[in-house]
Structure 1
Amino acid sequence: MAFFSRARGLFSYGDLNGSVSEIRGVNSGSSVHIDEPGMLSANDKYRKRKRRTLIGVALLALVVILIIALSSRQKEMVSSALKRLPKSFSSASGTSRHPSEIKSENRVKYQDFIQSRFVPTNYPDFNATWISDKEFMLENFYDGLQIFDVETLTSKKLMSSSLMNHYRVYDYYLSVDRKYLLLKTNPSRVYRRSSIAEFIIMPLRDGRVSTTQNKLEPADYNGKRPFLIRQASFAPTGNGIVYVDRENNIYYRPTALGQDVKLTTNGEDGKIFNGIPDWVFEEEVFEESNAIWWAPDGKKLVWGSFDDTEVEIYLLQSYGTLEHVEQYPLIKDLAYPKVGNKNPIVTLWMCNFDQGPCDTKLIKPPKSLKGQEVHFSRVKFVDDHHFAVQWMNRVQNVTVVSLCQTEGEADCIEIFANEEKEGWIEFKYTLYFDPLWTPEKSPVPDFVTILSKPSSKHRYRQVMLVSDQKRTFLTQRDADVTDIAKWSKDGYIYFMAVAEDLPGSEHMYRLPSPNLSNNDLDPQCMSCSFNTTDELHKRPCEKFSISMSNEGAYFVMNCRGPGTPYSCIHRTSTNEMLMVYDDNYKVERRMKGVELPTIQHMEVPISGSELKAQVKMYLPPGFDPTREYPMLVYIYGGPGSQHVDLSFNQFEYQTYLAGSKEFIYTIIDPMGTAGQGDKWRFSMYHQFGTVEVTTIQDVTRYLQNNLQYIDAERTAIWGWSYGGFLSLTTLASDTENMFDCGISVAPVADWLLYDTYYTERYMGLPQENRQGYNESRVFGKLDNLRNKSFYLIHGTDDDNVHYQQSLLISQALEDKDILFRQQSYTDQDHSINDYREHLYHSITDFLINDCFREKDRSIRK
């Protein structure tokens, strides 16, 4: 899916007005100066940070706070300093003025947060779509839909913004031969990542859309209502189209305006899904709404089918609006497999159009998994005639990769198998095949993937080569590899990884292909040398994401933090920066004069691990270490997640709360999260709510005992979803009264009530881990809430964590005669998007007027 950028002047150093325009590039040797009255230059910021004195607080010898100015020094220098004193550093400097000197108009406003005034464009990732090895397609609010050529630095307009607004375009797709544009219009949400919409085919004349339009619908459709489609895509060659209708049947067109071939006929809304996943596969396995895969030549298709006939139904109620009150609530059926119950029946199919009329073949699961319940998690074509399928067992600790042929009976052979005995296998683990492989070279292609090295101390994840069944680790790092971006024909493997000794970072690296003679070279960091950023007058960057062109000749490097994000276009072969794509100048202007919190990163020792918990603290503007501040701890802590990193997030709730209400806002990544190896990640395996809670308690106790500016009598905790579960479990387990109160939004209370693929991945089957499931239930632990304030929040239309969970929590509290506060958001799903302003108003009011009311001494009203 292409994401829209609504920022005027998206290209800071060029003009995209007009059909074709020349854009001045900024190469790596040029100086790009962004000067604005009242804004600090990079050097000003550096001098200001150096003048800041260390906070005069006695810390334990294990944790010495060091304010590290993130100046123009390279990553290696930062890492070296962190090796010596890794306990704490500052990634964002706030004001040094006394609070009494800060004017109210300069504080962060609630509407700054609610209206997302400080949210950067192209964040967190590249908001455009590569359509070739040198071009990408993007939409600009003022200039419409365009193609930008990174070689010539010119743009061509495909469609005006007024025409896109006329058709209410939500998404767009360009045929590979550039003859047609497919527009997705008037969408309605189905699940979190899926929608149903109308599609329009627009022919292109001389590179611009014509006035002719064709609705994407079967030729024999004569309905009075628009023909609605769940999913559509162009073929990777020519302009063929495949699409899925609202009844979940697949249609194929060899050309955009040709006749349809109906590939499936058994689709049924809500029961049998062809080419698109059902709810649980979309949410927990694919994390997208597509289950169709094209061969590179556009002549073969592979698709998944999901039969929910035997999956139990959960009933969601819709109460309507005040404008349209329903006398009786509407009931919606949702096939939702809960732990230990029947899953969808999953099948995989292949059709070869190159052999005449489509003869559908069933792709069988591996023989080594025979007798087990299995499902596929990924499909990837290796070439025109071979595709790989990643299969998993039900609890997702065993995986097998099959290599299948598109000719004949679509026979498959097993080329890789792996079992994880201490944890789980990531449901979206990456495979990249040798781009130069041919069957004549070897019967099975080499490929690279990410796997933790068992012999390493903390089991850090590494790039691993599989060649002729032999496994070789190509990296030997003391930090996690997070993703493989590409194995390109230029002889390199490109990957993303955490910088050593800096768990919240992420940099781009490349290493030579293993089949080359120079494969003994160490990986080269491609983003570390760019860390000076002098030419951009930006703060050094430690958190990157990248987007590579189709063959890898160019890439967009997105700096995600800790300073204001920016994006630059690079030539891959030389790593030369060609131009600034987006410098987020407008965001910097909006933040000018606003007193922002200072962000402090800290490592805290915990029981049960040699590693330390990563902690991120937001200190109020004009921070005074001689005062005591109330502290709000935020926790998510889901397995493999990461919230304490070096991303820019001065647009989130914590900026408002610390910047306006003078709270200290603390984020903790407990055991079980990402960034510190699989030993840390797998520590919560089969025991939700144990080591995570211990980590939260250890960190909170440490902060209260050693930082005199934290008011131990005014400390709260909150979280959402898995974080809601942990905030409630932590509060209920708090026998030391570390927390005065807590907030749980959409929490899980009993993991037997959550879905199969997520829960069983981490907790196993209930009959095999009865103790783990019983001990994770919160209902029997709620007596500790008697002397605490508790706020329970949930949307009634939550299809993810069901409203049932909060109703059972409230029933348990009512049975014990424990008073609490509860908020239900009518017809809202897991995100409560429609009432975001009311939600955070309510949370803030609870903290000030309920949680800390009796102990309030200095909170700003």
Structure 2
Amino acid sequence: TFTLEDYFNGTARTKSYNMRWVSGTMKKITPTNKYINPNIKYTVTSRVAAFDYMVSADRKYVCFQSNYTKLWRHSYTASYSIYDLEKGDFINMDIPHEIQYLAWSPTGHKLAFVWKNNIYVKETPTSAFKQVTADGAHNLILNGIPDWVYEEEMFSTNFALWWSPNGRFVAYARFNDSGVHNIEYTWYGEGQYPETVLVPYPKAGTPNPTVKLFVFDTNTSRINEHYLSTVTWASDERIAVQWQNRTQNYVVLKTYDFNGSAWTEKTKFLTKGKWEVTSILKVTNDAVYYVSNEHNASPGQRNVYKITINDASHSERECLTCTLNADRCKYNSALFIKIYNILYIGIHVCENLKFLKTFLEVRVLEDNKDLENTLQNIAMPSVTHGTLKIGEFDLWYQMIQPPKFDKSKKYPLLIDVYAGPCSQKSDFRFRVGWSTYLASTENVIVASFDGRGSGYQGDKIMHALYKRLGTYEVEDQITSKYIFLGHCISNHVFVLQSYGGYVTSMVLGAGSGVFKCGMAVAPVSKWEYYDSIYTERYMVTPAENQAFYDNSTVMERAKNFKSVQYLLVHGTADDNVHFQQAAQISKALVDEQVDFDAMWYTDEDHGLGGSSNQHVYTHMSHFLKNCFA
């Protein structure tokens, strides 16, 4: 069987290919840390202990990153060393250490970087830098990088500066956190006294950061002067900017010419149907490539499509991946270069490189045959999908079933829940994880269900939770249990983690008697405690929706936990869902004299990484076995 040790050791981990496109020619870093291109080979990363690299657009320089120090989910600081490919050696630079972000220009070899919240530009790697901004200040003013809430909830990146296509202009955002309240948490470390960490963190109904967008002209060194959502250069002197209002129910897309005039054009829809476009992969002069879940009317599948366009019309959509290993690869995406190549993955391990134009196989980068052979010697679970009708909706579920599953037998059941707005748990992506161990070794059915509020099944389902988190998504998880009861031991049912930890806690606190056990990892407990951008997107402000804020707290349901087994887990340095959330649940349960289990992970953030990751899954496995005993 697939054991817990197999999960921790990565016995069945898929291999990917550490490659990125630089031009029409492939260049890569190999697992042996050697930089390779078609003309020259050097072992250089060991000299600077590099963990990543970036190649200039003209392919004359390679910038190596070292001394990685993580900050939040996407942000980090690093040191940068630039290697001259023509001279075959590193060059001397005046770039300081602890850089927050660095980017090559799209043409040539200009550089823009952020240090101590200020932006700098270099015309060449060897030239002196120009300081673009000078007002950057820790936890107050950030130039070219997002603050905590924009990084986490809006941009999902560590940068807020964008080169124009010709490399002349740099657009950048300036974040002012001076009016934002700080969250404080303790960092215990190894010192005699613990430290206090302060992070500007706007919570629901409190002041948000203010954001301005600027454009810096690298030729003249001149700067031309809500929610800033996305920034895209449409041409060398035209930039498209998307803004949202605070409640995020209204979006303005403005395209600005460099001289300050606005330009708009009536949009034309290229697709329509009862399915969703999940991402746009590539836009060329004559085509749009995108991913959708249209094929087989299955929201959990993903395929790559192409629409040919011209000034007057567009073609019908063409599916490029629907027939590529259709029985195995049902979750696909693509990477593009100028010759439009594709990399795709699926329910089984499929990573191949093909020409989109001719579909001739260029080269198999990684077929994961070793993994496939390994899995043939392990009793692996099977995965089934189906729908459950709740009201007017046919909602999708997924069941991971033990090897040699027998419908006449009864099995323990774990409901693996997330249930956050626009989330999806029932899909066709290949995964091997803790659920695999539970099904393979412990003979547990692991089920997931995408109820009201989930994504990729239409706006009506997704918008059902608007202004009412903690309602339908909780009710639907309770209802979903009944579809699985035919295969399960009576009452031996429980749920888990993150937003799922919130739903777990709300389900157990509902007092329905349906669930016997539950595990909540880093749960939200009260929406006023969470960040403004995420919370107000779905709940508006507390002043506008106080009744639903009040009725969606875990603490108000504390007395109903007396009849269930509950495990509460949290990291003390969680910058996202603060330890405050679990502490308030604990306080309420103690006030109601509820006996429960708790596990705190000192100085760990929301991801519970490192040794804590193995510990938490081992601990949850023990809790699960006791619950099923």
**Are 2:70 and 1:195 equivalent residues in the alignment?**
no
Residues 603-633 of structure 1: CA deviation (Å, up to 9, x unaligned): 11113xx222211111112223232211010
In the other structure, the counterpart of 1:398 is 250
Give how far 1:135 is off.
2.7
Query: Relative to structure 1, is the Cα distance of residues 669 and 341 closer, same or farther in structure 2, using a 3 angstrom cutoff?
Result: same
Alignment of 1:843-858 (within 5 A): 843-849=620-626, 851-852=627-628, 856=629
Segments of 5+ residues of structure 2 without an aligned counterpart are none
* Partner residue, 2:283: 487
User: In the alignment, which residue of structure 1 is the partner of 2:262?
Assistant: 413
Contact 1:379–1:390 under 8 Å retained in 2 = yes
Deviating runs (4+, > 3 A) in structure 1? 155-159
Distance 1:817 1:740 in 2: 18
What is the distance in 2 between the residues matched to 1:558 and 1:578?
13
Task: Name the CA distance, whole Å, in 2 between partners of 1:138 and 1:806.
Answer: 44
Contact 1:717/1:727 (8 A) holds in 2: yes
SS across alignment from 2:478: helix
Q: 2:34 maps to what in 1? A: 144
Instruction: Select which of 543, 546, 555 maps to 2:331.
Output: 543
Q: Does 1:690 align with 2:485?
A: no
| Inter-partner Cα distance in structure 2 for 1:623 and 1:216 | 64
RMSD over aligned CA atoms reads 1.7
- 1:699-848 → structure 2 map (5 Å cutoff): 699-704=480-485, 707=486, 709-718=487-496, 720-735=497-512, 737-834=513-610, 835-848=612-625
Deviations 1:526-563 (A, max 9, x none): 1112235xxxxxx53111011111x4x222231231x2
The alignment's TM-score, normalised by the length of structure 1, stands at 0.71
The CA deviation at 1:638 is 1.2
Hey, what does 1:241 align to over in structure 2? Answer: 111
Q: What is the TM-score when the length of structure 2 is the normalising length?
A: 0.96
Describe the SS at the equivalent of 1:689. Answer: coil
The alpha-carbon deviation at position 402 of structure 1 amounts to 1.6
Identity across the alignment (%) = 30
Structure number with bigger Rg: 1
Match of 2:213 in 1: 348
- Residues 20-42 of structure 1 show CA distances to partners (whole Å, capped at 9, x for unaligned) of xxxxxxxxxxxxxxxxxxxxxxx
Aligned to 1:554: 340
Matching of residue 286 in structure 1 with residue 161 in structure 2 = no
Q: CA deviation at 1:176?
A: 1.3
**In the alignment, what sits opposite 1:475?**
271
Q: Partner of 2:57 in structure 1? A: 176
Call closer, same or farther: CA 1:583–1:391 in 2, change over 3 Å: same
CA–CA separation in structure 2 for the residues paired with 1:686 and 1:514: 42
Aligned to 1:634: 416
Query: How far apart are residue 812 of structure 1 and its match?
Result: 0.3
Q: How does 1:68-467 map to 2 (within 5 A)?
A: 107-122=1-16, 127-132=18-23, 134-142=24-32, 144-147=34-37, 155=38, 158-160=41-43, 163-205=44-86, 210-217=88-95, 227-245=97-115, 247-320=116-189, 325-354=190-219, 356=220, 358-362=221-225, 374-406=226-258, 410-413=259-262, 415=264
1:807 CA drift (Å)? 0.4
Amino acid corresponding to residue 710 of structure 1 in structure 2: C
Aligned to 1:616: 398
Q: Which amino acid aligns with 1:544?
A: N
Where do 5+ consecutive residues of structure 1 fail to align?
Answer: 1-106, 148-154, 219-226, 363-373, 416-467, 533-538, 857-861
| Larger relative contact order, structure 1 or 2 (CA cutoff 8 Å, min sep 6) | 1
Pairs aligned (count) = 627
1:196-242 per-position Cα deviation (integer Å, ceiling 9, x unaligned): 11111111127xxx233434526xxxxxxxx2211001111111111
The equivalent position to 1:502 in structure 2, one of 271, 288, 298, is 298
Specify the code of the residue in structure 2 equivalent to 1:702: I
8 Å Cα contact 2:342-2:356 kept in structure 1: no
Contact map agreement 1:200 1:216 (CA 8 A) in 2:
no
Letter in 2 for 1:830: H
Deviation of residue 329 (structure 1)? 0.7
Paired letter, 2:412: P
Secondary structure of the residue aligned to 1:503 is coil
The question of whether the paired residues in 2 share the 8 Å contact of 1:199 and 1:216 is answered with: no
Within 1, Cα distance between the matches of 2:341 and 2:547? 49
For residues 677-731 of structure 1, the C-alpha deviation after alignment (integer angstroms, 9 at most, x for no partner) is: 1111111111111111121111102321xx2x3112211111x221110011111
1:813 Cα offset (Å): 0.3
Amino acid paired to 1:288: T
Label 1:143 to 1:313 Cα distance change in 2 as closer, same or farther (>3 A).
closer
Amino acid at match of 2:210: I
SS of match in other structure, 1:687: coil
SS in 2 for 1:767: helix
Q: Secondary structure at the match of 2:106?
A: coil
Structure-2 residue corresponding to 1:525: 319
Quote how far apart the aligned CAs of 1:405 are.
Answer: 2.1
Equivalent position amino acid for 1:214 in 2:
N
What is the deviation of 1:359? 1.3
